[in-house]
Amino acid sequence: MADDVDIMRQLVEMQAAALAALAQVEDEPGLQAWRTTYTGRNAPIMLVFSRLPQFSKELRPQIGQNANQVKLALEAALAEKSELIRQAALQKSLAQKAWM
| The pLDDT value given to residue 89 | 86
> Domain span at residue 16?
2-99
- Tell me how many domains the chain contains: 1
| The pLDDT value given to residue 95 | 81
Rounded-to-integer distance, Cα 36 and Cα 46, Å:
11
For residue 59, give the DSSP letter: T
> What tens digit of pLDDT does each residue of 45-91 get?
999 999 999 999 999 999 999 999 999 999 999 999 999 999 988 88
pLDDT surpassing 70 at residue 25 = yes
Q: pLDDT confidence of 94, banded at 50, 70, 90?
A: confident
Minimal CA–CA distance to 69: which of 11, 24, 2?
A: 11
| The pLDDT value given to residue 86 | 93
Q: Supply the mean pLDDT for the chain.
A: 92
| The pLDDT value given to residue 93 | 84
State whether residue 58 is helix, strand or coil. Answer: coil
Minimal CA–CA distance to 78: which of 70, 89, 67, 90?
A: 70
